[in-house]
Every structure is written in structure tokens, then in C-alpha cells.
Amino acid sequence: MKYKNILFGVIALLFFGAIGCDTNIVDQNNLSSESGAVLSNEFSMDQMATAAETNSIIDGEYLLLFKGNKIPKGFSDDIEDKGGNIIYQHDSGFAYVSGLTSSQAEEMRARKDISELTANASFSLNLPNDAELSSEEAVASSTQNPAGSFFYARQWHYPAIDADQAWAAGYLGSEDVTFAILDGGIDYTNLDLSGLVDLSRSISFVPTDDALVDIYFPGRNYITDLQYHGTHVAATVASNGIIGAGTTSKTTLTGIKVCDVFGDCNFGAIFSGLLFASETGVDVANMSLGGGFLKAGNGNFVGFINSLMNTVRRAGVTVVVSAGNSAADLDKDGNIYNAFCDSPNVICVSATGPIASQSVNGPFTDVDAPAVYSNFGRSSIDVAAPGGNTGAPVWATCTQTSLVVPVCQTGNFIVGLSGTSMASPHVSGLAALIISQGTNNPGQVKSAILQSADDLGQNGTDKFYGKGRINVAKALGL
């Protein structure tokens, strides 16, 4: 059975071009399969490596840090007088502005109260190398048992980390623990996510996507996922367990849209999203995204990132990030700053997965094998988690508002993706379970995850596994 991509690409290109937004349209939906469909036209590994290390300056947008961690009086009036607009500002002294000319930015750079000013830049989301769409539609039936979800038989990734043992012991998470999913949005009405997403603490920093939501899904919240990536990540963190299981079942989610339907993200949106999360009581922020840039000549920007990450940590937010899908040795990255594994106070996650399976439901061979695409390196990788491999992807529900996989609009489908983006939310889910037991300091949460991991590869810190592959049951003392 073959599905074709929705024919909106030309319209979207004209629309985005009219408002001056650079776009990268990738045909991701040449869908055909025997037992499911394969999205065969995604980025190759070389293309992903190039995309992750190539940033595009966004005209007129700038990021500022003020000395003394304080926005001065009259700043908003100054920006308005210049014809600009404040997209977001935070009382830590951060501001994200648009509508300035380069000469106006240089004038501001000369101000004595500004410690850093840099142009905003975009990068491409590290999309999975391939994906599978199940040709079966889930039968909707409520369950309080994650292992009883319709597609659980193919979700090898939860037994691999002993999450099923934790569920059986009653560790399903707490609604008092809140996640921020910094990604391309969430399908918050999906069967697996309905009731779990707090829209009052959700926000979109992607106005181009907002316009498409108004066109295709009028009345929907702007965090609506028009792609598939964000919903897959969110449902891996927490799920109602109807279509597929999630690492937790009762955790509260917030959607912070920082990437558009084409997989373009930008630093201004990400930084604003992190700070927004920190001031709205979020406990864990999952960032299944990242890019790289040269350190040489960008020392101030590195300092900019590190300062913001420290602010987020002081607010009590545990930040979990994906290592990237370029099969790169991060110990030998030389002059490249890997955002965000090189940032302070984060948990950087590599990917594991089976090398073979006899069927879509297994049995699966060597589920802890390092994923062929995963970045690695002792200096960067903290811990490993299931991300999918040559033998099977990670499965989670598909957004029913996807313009990229339009068949998902027609029913309760599940999509299989492979990437470190899929590994990171397993760790985020474990962080939430640990926090629900009373450990909420980010440093202590990280230590609990690393110390309870199954030590694989070389003893101690391994270049692929870091401190090991996470073990949910062990981390909870089971």
C-alpha cells in the first residue's frame, strides 16, 4: 500500500518565500512497505552531518545578554523606536529581538550595559535517517497498563531498559512532575497524549508554523505538530498507553515549539523556550535537537549558551539532549562546538538498538548494540538509551495533524523512527520518575541516572555508552 505526500509543498514555499523565511523542503514520504511504510527520502547521514554543522543567519534577529542579569529600563522603548520588536525577554537579562538593521545592532553592541550581542541563526533538525509507518491502525481502548497498549509488542525499547518492571511495581510517574518538549510541537488531542499536555504552559516561538496552523487546522493551539517528530518524542516521554506505551503514563507535558514543519530550528527560539520553561515550573526539558558551529570566532556565543544553561539549571530544570546522528567521534571534533552536548549541566544521550529482528514484533537481536548513526565520545556522552538501529526503530504514536505524513490524519497510526532524538526522551522519562520520588536537584537527578546505568562496553566511561545504558528499574531501587 502506498501513500503520497500532501501536495502543499509549492503553496508552502510560496507562502514562506513571501514572508522572507528560508526553507528546506525535504520529501520524506515516499511511503511503501510490506508490513508498514518506509519514509525512504530523508536525509542521508552525510547530509545530516552537513546540516548539523551549517547555520544560517536570520536577518534582523539578535540575541542579547545584559550585564547584571537585568533588562534595563527603557529597553523596550529603544527597540520600538528602532522599528524592532521584542520576541521574548527574561529577567535573567536575556532578550530575543527582531526587526533591527545591522547598523542598529552595532549601535546596541556598543552599549556599556550589554555583555553579549549575537545574530540569531537557524539549523536543521537532526531528522531520523529512515522511518516506518505501521499499516495497521490501533484499536482505541483505554488501559492503565502501558504493556497493554495496542502496539506494545513491537516496542522492544521498554523491556530493554527494564521500564516494564517499573510499571509493574506501580512507577508510572506523577502529574506533579512537568516536562517541556522543545521540538516541533505536540498533537495534544492524540489518544496517547490527550489530557497529558498543559496548554496554559505551552507556547510557540515559530510564527511561520503558526500561520500554517491557522490555515490547515484553524482554532488549534499553535503548538500543534505539523510534522511528526515532536509528537513521537512527547509520546516516548509520556503516553496514555492506548496506541503505544511511553516511559511514563501520568507525567504532565508542555509543548514548546522551536522548530518548524520543515525541521528548521533556531537558537533564539530554543533559548527563549528554555527560559520560558524555567519560569513556568518545568522539571525536565527534553531537547531532541542540536547543531554544531565553529568555536573559533564564536567564543562569545559559546559563553552566551553556557550562561543561559547555568540560568536554567539554577531554576531546577534537568536538561536532556540528544547526541546527534552523524556517527561522529565527539572526542575528535576539534574546533566544533556541539550544541548542546558541549553545554554545561546537560545529560547527553547516545543511541542503542537491535541489529536484527525476525519480525516487526521480534524477537530482537542485541538490543544494546550502539546505533550505527549515533555520535559518540567519552568527553561528551553521559549515558545511552534506545534510539533504534538496523534491526528495529523506536515506535510511538503519529501526529494526526501531520502535513508531512498525511495518512496519519486518518487514524491512530504508529510511526517507527531511529535517531538519538528517540533515545533522549527515554532518559527524560526516567528523570521524571526519579523526580517523582523526591529527588529534584538537576545534579542529583543526573547522578542517579548515571550511577544506575548498566555498564556496557569498556568498564567505566565508554565512548559509545558513556556511563552505560539506562536502567529504569535499577534507578528506582527495584
Query: Domains in the chain and their CATH numbers?
Result: 9-54+125-475 (3.40.50.200), 58-122 (3.30.70.80)
* Angle, CA of 431, 193 and 34, to the nearest 5°: 100
User: How far apart, in whole angstroms, are the C-alpha atoms of residue 286 and residue 282?
Assistant: 11
Active site residue 380: no
CA quadruple 455, 346, 375, 355: dihedral sign: positive
Q: Does the structure show a pLDDT above 80 at 267?
A: yes
pLDDT at 143: 73
Residue 281: the pLDDT is 95
**What pLDDT, on the 0 to 100 scale, is given for residue 142?**
66
pLDDT band at 56 (very low <50, low <70, confident <90, very high): confident
- pLDDT of res. 472: 98
Q: What is the pLDDT of residue 165?
A: 97
The residue-averaged pLDDT of 162-168 equals 97
Instruction: Please give the grid coordinates belonging to residue 56.
Output: 544560517
The CA-atom distances, in angstroms, between 246 and each of 159, 234, 241, 270, 395 are 12, 9, 7, 24, 10
Query: Cα–Cα distance between 110 and 115 in angstroms, integer?
Result: 10
The pLDDT tens digits for 297-307 are: 888 888 889 98
Question: What's the confidence (pLDDT) of residue 45?
Answer: 27
Q: Which of 421, 428, 436, 452 is catalytic?
A: 421
Q: How confident is the model at residue 20 (pLDDT cuts 50, 70, 90)?
A: very low
| 408-449 pLDDT per residue, tens | 999 999 999 999 999 999 999 999 999 999 999 999 999 999
Sign, CA torsion 226/283/435/250: negative
State how far Cα 92 lies from the chain centre.
24
In the structure grid, which three cell numbers stand for residue 320, read together?
Answer: 536532556
What's the pLDDT tens digit per position in 74-105?
A: 999 999 999 999 999 998 899 999 999 999 99
Crossing angle of helices 9-18 and 207-216, in 10° steps, is: 130
* 421 noted as active-site residue: yes
pLDDT exceeds 50 at position 350: yes
Average pLDDT of every residue of the chain: 86
Of the residues 229, 357, 382, 418, only one is catalytic, namely 229
Please give the pLDDT value at position 130.
65
Name the residue with higher pLDDT: 96 or 23. Answer: 96
pLDDT interval class at 55 (50, 70, 90):
low
The 3 state secondary structure assigned to 135-189 is: CCCCCCCCCCCHHHCCCHHHCCHHHHCCHHHHHHCCCCCCCCCEEEEEECCCCCC
- On whether the CB atoms of residues 450 and 260 are closer than 8 A, the answer is no
Query: Which residue type, as a one-letter code, is found at position 283?
Result: D
- Please, are residues 261 and 226 in contact by the beta-carbon 8 Å criterion? yes
Question: Catalytic one among 130, 162, 183, 198?
Answer: 183
pLDDT at residue number 38: 30
Residue 47: predicted pLDDT: 32
Mean pLDDT of 197-206: 98
Residue 95 neighbours by CB distance under 10 Å: 23
Q: Which of 15-19, 129-133, 360-364 has the highest mean pLDDT?
A: 360-364
Q: What is the pLDDT of residue 334?
A: 80
pLDDT at 291: 79
Residue 299 pLDDT: 83
* Mean of pLDDT values over 44-69: 66
